[in-house]
């Protein structure tokens, strides 16, 4: 183990820088692959994989694999019992052979045996499953020691935090897109409401029907031609559409009056 110390120090140092890379969506996949290679190289592990957990589909989706071959499943379903047991186990190495009582290890027993998967580490961050580590046999053929399992879990925590941070950023992006769409919907609704008001204004008088709508459209075109900002164009167009809004509160017979309106000459 003393001979492995420089490798372990290097691996931990590289993993510590993981958080600087996860903000970049394009670097995330490569960072996870590098992390798997660091872990495998530090302990002489022949093959393995890192998966990301989706709580929506209850699947572990492989992010990076090393030496598992094309036949190893890229998505592995996790049932509610598996999830409960993984959370109860916490971020600890599970012996794949000794855990056959769980449905997860029963369903994928053939795949695990074919690729000699010996350990599975559920990546638990803040009481939530964010992923999992699949690790095959060591190059020496020796079983994993308790110390090596501790090292694996410590490195797994770094990887789990990286996945958790990426999930958080993805959720922020998703909500930002939703808010942006909602804002655009509100703007369109507002614009339609303004135009509906303009139509209602013009309905008060057949003589000026379509006038407010035309003024609004012309104002918008002129403001755009003057290279005003989008907000300024929208504001000018709104003013054009609603410039006769006072007509809505004026009686129709007053609007249609063809003579001077005075106290002595009220409309009939």
Q: Three-state secondary structure along 110-127? A: HHHHHCCCCEEEEEEECC
- Round the average pLDDT of the chain to a whole number and report it: 82
Report whether pLDDT(159) > 50: yes
Distance CA 193, CA 188 (A): 9
- Domain 5-173: give its CATH code: 3.30.450.40
Name the one residue in this structure whose structure tokens are 């903000």. Answer: 23
Report whether pLDDT(2) > 50: no
The pLDDT value recorded for residue 24 is 52
The model's pLDDT over 116-137, given as tens digits with 9 standing for 90+, comes to 999 999 999 888 999 999 999 9
Ranges 84-93, 146-155, 246-255: which has the least confidence: 246-255
The model's pLDDT over 166-177, given as tens digits with 9 standing for 90+, comes to 888 888 888 888
Distance CA 242, CA 123 (A): 59
The pLDDT value recorded for residue 216 is 84
Give the DSSP letter of residue 4: T
What residues does CATH 3.30.450.40 cover in the chain?
Answer: 5-173
The pTM assigned to this predicted structure is: 0.65
Which of 130, 128, 105 shows the shortest CA–CA distance to 118? Answer: 105
Distance CA 247, CA 203 (A): 10
Classified as helix, coil or strand, 261 is coil
Report whether pLDDT(220) > 80: yes
């Amino acid at each position: 183990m003393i001979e492995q110390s420089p490798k372990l120090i290097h691996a931990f140092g590289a993993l510590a820088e993981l958080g600087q890379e996860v903000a970049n969506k394009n670097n995330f996949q490569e960072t996870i692959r590098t992390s798997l290679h660091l872990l495998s190289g530090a302990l002489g592990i022949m093959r393995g994989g890192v998966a990301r957990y989706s709580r929506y589909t209850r699947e572990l989706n492989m992010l990076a694999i090393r030496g598992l071959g094309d036949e190893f499943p890229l998505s592995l379903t996790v049932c509610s019992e598996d999830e409960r047991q993984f959370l109860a186990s916490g971020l600890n190495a599970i012996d794949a052979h000794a855990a056959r009582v769980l449905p997860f290890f029963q369903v994928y027993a053939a795949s695990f045996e074919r690729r000699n998967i010996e350990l599975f580490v559920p990546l638990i961050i803040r009481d939530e499953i964010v992923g999992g580590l699949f690790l095959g046999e060591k190059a020496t053929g020796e079983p994993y020691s308790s110390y090596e399992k501790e090292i694996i879990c410590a490195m797994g925590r770094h990887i789990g935090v990286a996945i958790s941070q990426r999930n958080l950023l993805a959720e922020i992006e998703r909500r930002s897109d939703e808010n942006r769409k909602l804002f655009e919907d509100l703007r369109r609704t507002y614009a339609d409401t303004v135009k509906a008001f303009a139509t209602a204004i013009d309905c008060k008088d057949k003589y000026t029907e379509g006038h407010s709508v035309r003024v609004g459209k012309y104002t918008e075109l002129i403001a755009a031609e003057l290279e005003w900002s989008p907000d300024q164009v929208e504001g000018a167009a709104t003013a054009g559409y609603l410039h006769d809004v006072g007509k809505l509160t004026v009686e129709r017979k007053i609007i249609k009056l063809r003579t001077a309106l005075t106290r002595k000459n009220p409309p009939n």
